[in-house]
Amino acid sequence: MMAPDVTIVGENHRFDRLNLPMRLQGYQRFPPVRIEDDVWIGARAIILPGVTIGQGAIIGAGAVVTKDVPAYAVCAGNPARVLRLRTQEENEQ
């Protein structure tokens, strides 16, 4: 599930040539973003290039995900960090 205004970044402008305006330098491609099954991404979250979001993970609203998220993790913040892991024991209570 994805809430409104989620941003997934896949490329960016190049900026390494000082003698050429950035807008003329083209794009830099990055490894793809992978989003596994049963993931919930909150409103206005930003997912940066090359990140894998593991199965069953939850990304809080407004989070900026800069590195891989483990399966069943609950993440939030800027940069996003793991707050806790979802567990089977929680579901049995």
Check if the beta carbon of residue 75 is closer than 8 Å to that of residue 53.
no
Check if the beta carbon of residue 25 is closer than 8 Å to that of residue 17.
yes
Catalytic residue among 5, 11, 13, 68: 13
Q: Which of 80, 13, 10, 12 is nearest to 41 (CA)?
A: 80
CA 74/CA 16 separation, integer angstroms: 36
CA 76/CA 26 separation, integer angstroms: 32
Q: Is 64 a catalytic residue?
A: no
Instruction: Report, as residue numbers or ranges, the catalytic residues.
Output: 13
